[in-house]
């Protein structure tokens, strides 16, 4: 019997860097389309018009409790939107990657650890672009103070990342 040949693999860092570059190219075409930005801009503008200046302070007409309630209802819809959008983006993308992953894993091109690390390195920043764009359109329309932008951004980012992770778990 012929001896088995063991194929040498590149170091994990090299595997991850190659997979990250490839994933960035494919993600750019998937998520960053003009249609995607237009959809989120129009939805943010719609929310912004529905809650026009809702969080703005007007001393004569608005009590603090009323502003908080308006802002709370706006944030509910924002969080609801970003809790399903990334999930469906990830679930929809995974079946297309599965065939390539299976073929490349059969050829032992890279380890599954390299694939998972590259996926995480790419997905975290990629899934933060559209929520940031969405909030940049929405929050000024709703009159949210600039000092609150960071807190709202952080909450929406955490929700979007958790949603994308849930989508990856469902797809896997």
- 54 CB-near residues (< 8 Å, 6+ apart): 67, 70, 71, 74, 142, 143
Q: pLDDT tens for residues 117-142?
A: 998 899 898 889 999 999 999 999 99
Q: Single out the residue of 53, 50, 47 nearest to residue 67, CA to CA.
A: 53
Angstrom distance (rounded) from CA 72 to CA 55: 9
Look at residue 145 and tell me whether its pLDDT is greater than 80.
yes
pLDDT tens digits, residue range 152-163?
999 999 999 999
């Amino acid at each position: 019997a012929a001896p088995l040949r063991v194929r040498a693999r590149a170091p994990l860092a090299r595997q991850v860097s190659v997979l990250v570059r490839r994933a960035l190219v494919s993600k750019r075409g998937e998520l960053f389309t003009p249609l995607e930005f237009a959809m989120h801009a129009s939805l943010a503008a719609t929310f912004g018009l529905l809650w026009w200046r809702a969080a703005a302070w007007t001393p004569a007409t608005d009590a603090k409790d009323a502003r908080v309630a308006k802002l709370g209802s706006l944030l509910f819809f924002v969080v609801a939107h970003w809790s399903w959008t990334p999930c469906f983006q990830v679930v929809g993308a995974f079946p297309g990657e599965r065939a390539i992953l299976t073929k490349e894993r059969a050829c032992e091109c890279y380890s599954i650890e390299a694939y998972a690390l590259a996926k995480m390195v790419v997905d975290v920043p990629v899934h933060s672009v559209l929520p940031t764009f969405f909030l940049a359109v929405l929050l000024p329309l709703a009159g949210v103070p600039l000092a609150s932008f960071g807190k709202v951004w952080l909450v929406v980012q955490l929700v979007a990342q958790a949603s994308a992770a849930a989508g990856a778990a469902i797809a896997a």
